[in-house]
Amino acid sequence: MRLDKYLANLWVVPRRQIKKLLKSWEVLLNMKCVDSPSIKIQEGDMLSVYGQDIEVKYLVTLLVHKPKSYISSDIDEGEYASYNDLIYDCPYSQLVHVAWRLDADTEGLLLCTSDGKLTQRIVHPKNNCEKEYFVRTALPINQRMVDILVAWVIMDWNVQALLAKVEQLSENELRIIIVEWKYHQVKRMLRAVGNEVSYLRRDRIWEWVLWDLKIGEWKYV
């Protein structure tokens, strides 16, 4: 990849200022000053920009523990901040995008990646990529509700959800595992059985789990 394209993707400076940046001698490639925007860089090369060391990576994947009141969009929207504000200190923050979004009022695991093939594998229901949620409900849960959730529950707008795995943890708590991605799916599933979600957190996407990742923190995969 050309150096100027990679620097633009990182959004170190706006694209129109890349040439000016290179002429300022503030960019090192493998410990050597470079001023040519067309020079080719490879995975594993080491850049230094304004004194910050950045290893050249084309495929980057992060796990983020999203708090409430943050959205999965790349830009802030109204009263909500973007998840990007949580990974501002990651040099690859502008390379990655959320592979499976969460609502603003939902906490939990975001998988952010620059790998398009990984995103497709996670999002497409035919791949049966499990997403696991902890759910607290407004009303007590009975066995009839659990039985319907496990079966082919019909949500609003006559939309049918694929089979889910459901474990009742307490009178008002469930663990639900789904493999598809429908708008507000878990909330709509609970609504379809006469209940409401009062708290929702995603704990797992495929093989990646929140574990000890604290709210607002991120880490490399």
**Amino acid making up residue 110:** L
Write the pLDDT tens digit of every residue in 114-163: 999 999 988 887 888 999 999 999 999 999 999 888 887 777 766 767 77
Average pLDDT rounded to a whole number, residues 33-47 = 93
Among 177, 182, 176, 175, CA closest to 101: 182
- Domains detected in the chain: 3-55 (3.10.290.10), 61-123+212-220 (3.30.70.580), 130-205 (3.30.70.1560)
Q: Tell me what percent of the chain is helix, strand and coil, each rounded to the nearest 5.
A: 25, 30, 45
Average pLDDT rounded to a whole number, residues 204-215 = 94
Flag the least confident range among 11-15, 109-113, 131-135. 11-15
Cβ 213 vs Cβ 205: under 8 Å? no
Residues 102, 217, 49: CA angle, nearest 5 degrees:
110
- Give the pLDDT of residue 134: 98
Write the pLDDT tens digit of every residue in 76-110: 887 899 999 999 999 999 899 999 899 999 999 99
What DSSP assignment string belongs to 59-79?
S-EEEEEEPTTEESSSS-BTT
Whether residue 203 lies in the annotated active site: no
Cβ 98 vs Cβ 110: under 8 Å? yes
Q: What is the mean pLDDT of the chain?
A: 90
Judged against a pLDDT cut of 70, whether residue 164 lies above it is answered with: yes
- Give the pLDDT of residue 131: 94
Would you place residue 42 in the very low, low, confident or very high pLDDT band (cuts 50, 70, 90)?
Answer: very high
The count of C-alpha atoms lying within 13 angstroms of the C-alpha of 38, restricted to the half-sphere facing its C-beta, is: 0
Query: What's the pTM value of the predicted model, to 2 decimals?
Result: 0.86
Write the pLDDT tens digit of every residue in 57-79: 989 999 999 999 999 988 888 78
Residues 5, 19, 90: CA angle, nearest 5 degrees:
50
What DSSP assignment string belongs to 4-72?
HHHHHHHTSS-GGGHHHHHHTT-EEETTEE---TT-B--TT-EEEETTEEEE--SS-EEEEEEPTTEES
90-93 long-range contacts, Cβ below 8 Å, gap at least 24?
90/62, 90/218, 91/10, 91/52, 91/54, 92/10, 92/57, 92/60, 92/62
Residue in 4, 45, 103, 203 annotated catalytic = 103
Radius of gyration of the chain (CA): 21
Average pLDDT rounded to a whole number, residues 167-172 = 96
